[in-house]
Amino acid sequence: MQNKHLDFETIKAASDIISAIVESNLLEWDGVTPAKSDKISFLKKNSNHLSVSFKDTEVYLKIKMNVQKGINIMEETAQIQQEIKDEIIHLTGFKVKRVDVFIEKILPQSAAVEGFDV
């Protein structure tokens, strides 16, 4: 079996597309926001709540997020993982090997209503 290797331009384009897919998907979920960091990095363009890596033609994702208190974390994150995986496969054709979700903070219900962004 022959291994496929992606060139830098393909990885860069795929990473940008995958990042956009994840960002748009997270916006669709009530009570879920990307985790923000207080650290400032001038060298990094990408958000620090999302890590996209490739091994040959397989995609590995790590997503950090905040969730609103009161939602079923296990159920919601499992649905988010599956939707992101399915959408990436459908739109890019890449095999998604892992979508790891990390909960950084559980926000009070009033935080989401007031537009509180951590």
Percent of the residues in the chain that have a pLDDT greater than 70, as a whole number: 79
CA distance 41 to 64: 17
Tens of pLDDT, residues 49-107: 899 999 888 999 999 999 999 989 999 999 999 999 999 999 988 999 999 999 999 99
pTM of the complete model: 0.75
Q: Indicate whether 1 belongs to any domain.
A: no
Distance CA 86, CA 82 (A): 6
Q: Looking at the 3D structure of the chain, how many domains does it have?
A: 1
CATH classification of the domain holding 64: 3.30.70.1350
Specify if 3 maps to a domain: no
In a domain, 47, yes or no: yes
**Does the residue 69 lie in any domain?**
yes
Q: Examine residue 2 and state whether it is found in any structural domain, yes or no.
A: no
Q: 105 is in which domain, residue-wise?
A: 8-113
pLDDT of 45 > 70? The answer is: no
The answer as to whether 77 is a domain residue is yes
* Residue owning tokens 């974390």: 73
Q: What mean pLDDT comes out for the span 27-56?
A: 74
72 in any annotated domain: yes
Q: Which whole number is the average pLDDT over 10-21?
A: 89
